[in-house]
Amino acid sequence: MTPLAKHFRRGMGRPAPATPNAIHFNEPGVSLLWETVGPELGAGWFLDRFVYLFGPGLERLQRCLQAWAFLVPPDHPDRRVLGYNIHGAILVLENGDSDVPRVLVLEPYRVAYWTHEHLGFENLFAKWLPDRELPYFLDTSVYAHWRQSTGQYLPEDMILAPKLPEDLGGTWTPENFQVENLFEYYERTGRKYAKVAAQAPKKPGGRKR
């Protein structure tokens, strides 16, 4: 096993339940890296079913990105969903079949579609995921409370969605999260936030990144 995969396993564990790996690339550089480390990382549900990575069905979440077109630039020709967490945050790869792939996170709690200059495809597995450096994306505190109080797992396509985002006074506490359908949540909030964005004065710098 490569050192990268060993570090990933130390931070993220093994997927349970595991699924086949459903992420594929055409560009030689990215494809070679992924063919080497992808099988070692595994795919499926990690961290007690808190985050789903690299498995089948992620293409369906393009619907969520489209619902938040007020924030996510629409019609990107090379955009893949790499995973999502139980709070509906979505891990996205843009330009995966190029020499300069970009990793971004669509974060409902922060209402942000953001990246970082050091958040690249390779160090996503080597650092940002296993070291839990993606803000909120691997914060399991609210989910752990819900699991302890209910003793259940959420059904497919259901998430613990924020009632209020951070900018509107929402807090990262169990009281601010409720069970909702992932797709219905994005479509409902997308309509609401799009109206707010259309009425707000434009600020320098454009969309949050």
Residue 173 is assigned to a structural domain of this protein: yes
Tokens of 135: 């803000």
Residue 144 is assigned to a structural domain of this protein: yes
Residue 137 or 31, more confident: 137
Number of domains in the chain: 1
Residue 77 is assigned to a structural domain of this protein: yes
pLDDT at 46 (0 to 100): 98
Residue 54 is assigned to a structural domain of this protein: yes
Supply the range of the domain harboring residue 31.
3-195
**Residue 204 pLDDT more than 70?**
no
Residue 207 is assigned to a structural domain of this protein: no
pLDDT at 28 (0 to 100): 67
pLDDT at 196 (0 to 100): 84
Summarize the confidence of residues 9-22 as an average pLDDT: 96
Q: Model confidence over 157-195: pLDDT tens digits?
A: 999 999 999 999 999 999 999 999 999 999 999 999 998
Residue 43 is assigned to a structural domain of this protein: yes
Q: Model confidence over 124-160: pLDDT tens digits?
A: 999 999 999 998 999 999 999 999 999 999 999 999 9
pLDDT at 208 (0 to 100): 44
Torsion of CA 124, 44, 108, 189, to 10 degrees: 150
> At 161, which amino acid appears?
A
